[in-house]
């Protein structure tokens, strides 16, 4: 369904080129949910934007359903995929009601039966009819994200692109949104790409997961190996260990011995350095 | 003879008058803190940050703070005037906020900001303050402190910024540090480095730490003891490593609602709220 080959994105920052994505290739089968994990600055969101046609890529590198995507997309091509952003408040127009926002894509694409479709979209994401004429500030965070999902799905896209859809939400609300996403994915037979920094969220929704670091795709894993922690790359293992929580005794990276001049702060730093080396008094190492 | 606990709070209430009547942000919270890592978990709006502000006397107007008892190492905090608070804040207790971007002064170099904090609390020459500031930057594991000293906040990465914040808060050597979501804006690997710094400060310096977070995994693995807040109330208090055996239905629901890396459940359980919890 989605074929990305050797994708490269370069930004210019004050004349200096920044290689945000450096040659990333992957493919997503029809109906699959593909996950991309990485830390900030790894280029994971940029990959998603490039797939959506929201940023310029170096050369053609994307085919969808066998058709190569150019820099400029036709209306039909745009309708094929929709985007859900991280911050539900930032991605909704503050002066438009839920109804206005759901109506707009339908009008742009000349779809008929607008009223019924808006009502259906609201019901689909679990919003009540009374939410229809509210403004974003009158909705809770979870409701806003439901609204953003409704807007993405109202055009019946084949592909849904999710950029950190739950990272601004509380755990309890996150559970509701994740359940909603897995239900809709089945109902609409969506192919999706999910970008997140949270390994547990990605493992919950995705079957295959790509790990990105500094613009490169470091490793590709299926969800079973991720759950068992069977990764080959040191970076992936580090991410998995880190997401399991804080390990009391661990290795200290780098030297932190200051050039002590007898100050008490230098003394503290020295003590810290000694104390944080794994010692017999501390528990087991990383789990 | 045992020394009094660092913090003792009994029946703390914080409320904000508004058009719709009184909003009760914290309702009857009681806890104490020794030289340990105390975690406070809860969802947004549960009153966990407000509890932190109340301890520092920083509840914004027109908030009303009442308590039967609130003390720091035996000193009564309820009867303090504004100037008394000023002398406690920074020197005795301090707070690290969530996002370093908003807590640092964007137009001053970070070294100058740290120095300023030091000179506010100690009588010292500029050179001495500078030396302390540099040592502190090194203590929070900033490798080339000399360079970072001369940077502006926007030139720092998130993890670096948070370390600078911690350095600034610790230079006056407080007995109590309240860390309000100190790692939420950071990447997981950086998160653990910041946690390690806090951990060491507690074990080496014997500082008391209140760690406010919404992340159960971090709190249960990092803290000694955990308070779970819901709707302004402390609904549960337990040892951090026993959080998975929590008794309160809210705590249990929260734990089950989080997706787990270890095992897959097709449908995540949703927190069903019981009005009884607030009764």
Reported as a single tens digit per residue, the pLDDT across A185-225 is: 999 899 999 999 889 999 999 999 999 999 999 999 999 99
In terms of domains, do A147 and A41 share one? Answer: yes
Same domain, A254 and A185: no
Residues A196 and A262 in one domain: no
Asked whether the beta carbons of B23 and B16 are under 8 A apart, the reply is yes
Residue B225, SS3 per DSSP: strand
Domain ranges of chain B: 7-92+175-278, 103-173
Beta-carbon neighbour count of residue B173 at 10 Å?
18
> Domain range spanning residue A281?
249-287
Averaged pLDDT for residues A41-52: 90
Inter-chain residue contact A247 with B139, CB threshold 8 Å: no
Asked if the Cβ–Cβ distance from B218 to A245 is below 8 Å, we say yes
- Statement to judge: residues A217 and A263 lie in one domain: no
Q: Does A240 touch chain B (CB under 8 A)?
A: yes
User: Domain check: are A126 and A226 in the same one?
Assistant: yes
Question: Alpha helix (H) ranges present in A36-164?
Answer: 44-52, 75-80, 98-108, 114-124, 141-153
What domain count does chain A have?
2
Residues of B in contact with A261 (CB under 8 A): 131, 135
* Shortest alpha-carbon distance between residue B171 and chain A (Å): 8
pLDDT band, very low/low/confident/very high, at A257 (cuts 50, 70, 90): very low
Chain B residues closer than 8 Å to A238 by CB: 189
Q: What is the DSSP letter of B5?
A: P
Averaged confidence pLDDT in chain A = 83
A285 touches chain B (CB under 8 A): no
* pLDDT of A254: 34
Q: What is the pLDDT of residues A84-111, one digit of tens each?
A: 988 877 889 999 999 999 999 999 999 9
Q: Which of B135, B154, B220 to mutate to test the interface with A (most CBs of A within 10 A)?
A: B135
Does residue A260 sit in the same domain as residue A152?
no
Interface test with A, best of B170, B250, B268, B277 (most A CBs within 10 A): B268
Tokens of B24: 């009760």
Mutation target to probe the B interface, by most B beta carbons within 10 A, among A225, A231, A268, A273 is A268
Is the domain spanning B7-92+175-278 CATH 3.40.50.300? The answer is yes
Q: How far apart are CA A12 and CA A259, in angstroms?
A: 39
Give the strand pairing for A16-28 and A33-38.
unpaired
In this prediction, residue A248 carries a pLDDT of: 67
Give me the mean pLDDT over the A34-52 stretch.
90
Contacts of B136 in chain A (CB under 8 A): 265
B270 and A226 in contact by Cβ < 8 A?
Answer: no
Residues A161 and A86 in one domain: yes
pLDDT tens digits along A55-73: 888 877 889 888 888 878 8
As for the ipTM of the complex, it is: 0.80
Q: A169 to chain B nearest CA, in Å?
A: 9
- Helix (H) / strand (E) element for B165: namely helix B158-170
Residues A237 and A259 in one domain: no
Is B132 within 8 Å of A250 when comparing Cβ atoms?
A: no
How many C-beta neighbours within 10 Å does residue B243 have?
A: 23
A234 interface with B at CB cutoff 8 Å: no
Q: Do A137 and A62 have their domain in common?
A: yes
> Are A164 and A123 in a shared domain?
yes
* Chain B residues in contact with A250 (beta carbon < 8 A): 192, 196
Lookup result for tokens 């994105």: A9
Measured in angstroms, the CA of B268 and the nearest CA of chain A are apart by 6
Cβ separation B199–A248 shorter than 8 A = yes
Check if the beta carbon of residue A157 is closer than 8 Å to that of residue A190. yes
Closest residue of chain A to B43, computed from CA coordinates: A170
CA angle A78, A81, A86 (to 5 degrees): 115
Residue A241's contacts (CB-CB under 8 Å, 6 or more residues apart) are A247, A286, A287
Nearest C-alpha neighbor of B194 from the set B175, B169, B173, B174: B169
Which residues of chain B register pLDDT less than 50?
1
**A259 and A171, same domain (yes or no):** no
Residue B76 pLDDT: 92
Please tell me if residue A56 touches chain B, with a CB cutoff of 8 Å: no
Percent of chain B with pLDDT over 70: 99
CA dist., res. B126 & res. A41, Å (int): 37
CA-nearest residue to A241 within chain B is B189
User: Chain A to chain B, count of Cβ pairs less than 8 Å apart?
Assistant: 136
Give me the torsion for CA of B219, B224, B229, B232, rounded to 10°: -120
Could you tell me the pLDDT band of residue A249, with boundaries at 50, 70 and 90? low
Say which range, A140-149, A245-254, B198-207, has the weakest mean pLDDT: A245-254
Instruction: Assess whether A141 and A97 both reside in one domain.
Output: yes
CB contact under 8 A, B263 and A227: yes
Block residue for tokens 């994200």: A145
Q: What is the pLDDT of residue A32?
A: 93
């Amino acid at each position: 369904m989605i074929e990305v080959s050797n994708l490269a994105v370069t930004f210019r920052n004050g004349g200096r080129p920044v290689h945000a994505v450096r040659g990333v290739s992957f493919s997503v089968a029809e109906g699959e949910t593909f996950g991309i994990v990485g830390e900030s600055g790894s280029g994971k969101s940029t990959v998603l934007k490039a797939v959506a046609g929201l940023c310029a890529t170096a050369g053609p590198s994307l085919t969808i359903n066998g058709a190569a995507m150019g820099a400029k997309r036709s209306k039909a091509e745009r309708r094929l995929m929709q985007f859900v952003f991280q911050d539900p408040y930032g991605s909704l127009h503050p002066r438009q009601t839920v109804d206005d926002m759901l109506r707009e894509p339908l009008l742009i694409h000349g779809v008929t039966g607008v009223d019924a479709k808006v009502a259906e979209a609201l019901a689909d994401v679990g919003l009540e009819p009374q939410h229809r004429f509210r403004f974003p500030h009158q909705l809770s965070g979870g409701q806003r994200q439901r609204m953003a999902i409704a807007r993405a799905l109202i055009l019946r896209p084949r592909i849904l692109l999710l950029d950190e859809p739950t990272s601004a939400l509380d755990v309890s609300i996150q559970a509701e949104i994740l359940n909603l996403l897995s239900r809709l994915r089945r109902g609409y037979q969506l192919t999706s790409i999910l970008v997140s920094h949270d390994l547990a969220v990605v493992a919950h929704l995705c079957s295959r997961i790509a790990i990105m670091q500094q613009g490169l795709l470091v490793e590709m894993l299926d969800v079973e190996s991720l759950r068992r922690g069977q990764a080959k790359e040191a970076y992936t293992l580090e991410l998995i260990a880190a997401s399991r929580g804080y390990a009391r005794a661990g290795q200290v990276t780098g030297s932190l011995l200051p050039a002590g001049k007898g100050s008490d702060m230098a003394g503290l730093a020295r003590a810290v350095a000694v104390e944080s080396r794994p010692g017999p008094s501390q528990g087991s190492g990383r789990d | 003879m045992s020394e009094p606990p660092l913090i003792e709070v009994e029946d703390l209430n914080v409320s904000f008058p508004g058009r719709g009547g009184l909003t009760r942000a914290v309702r009857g919270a009681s806890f104490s803190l020794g030289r340990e890592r105390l975690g406070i978990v809860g969802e947004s709006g549960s009153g966990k940050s407000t509890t932190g502000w109340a301890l520092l006397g920083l509840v914004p107007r027109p908030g009303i703070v009442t308590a039967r008892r609130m003390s720091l190492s035996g000193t009564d905090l309820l009867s303090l005037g504004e100037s008394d608070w000023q002398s406690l804040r920074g020197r005795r207790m301090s707070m690290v906020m969530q996002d370093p971007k908003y807590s640092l002064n964007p137009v001053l170099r970070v070294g100058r900001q740290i120095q300023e904090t030091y000179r506010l609390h100690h009588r010292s020459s500029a050179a001495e303050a500078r030396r302390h500031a540099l040592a502190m930057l090194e203590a929070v594991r900033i490798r080339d402190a000399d360079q970072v000293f001369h940077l502006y906040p926007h030139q720092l990465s998130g993890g670096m910024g948070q370390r600078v914040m911690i350095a600034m808060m610790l230079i006056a050597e407080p007995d109590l540090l309240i860390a309000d979501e100190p790692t939420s804006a950071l990447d997981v690997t950086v998160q653990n480095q910041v946690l390690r710094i806090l951990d060491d400060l507690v074990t080496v310096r014997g500082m008391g730490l209140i760690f406010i977070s919404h992340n159960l995994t971090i709190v249960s693995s990092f803290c000694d003891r955990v308070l779970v807040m819901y709707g302004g109330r402390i609904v549960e208090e337990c040892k951090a490593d026993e959080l998975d055996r929590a008794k309160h239905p809210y705590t249990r629901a929260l734990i089950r609602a989080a997706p787990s890396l270890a095992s897959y459940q097709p449908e995540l359980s949703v927190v069903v709220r019981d009005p009884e919890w607030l009764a």
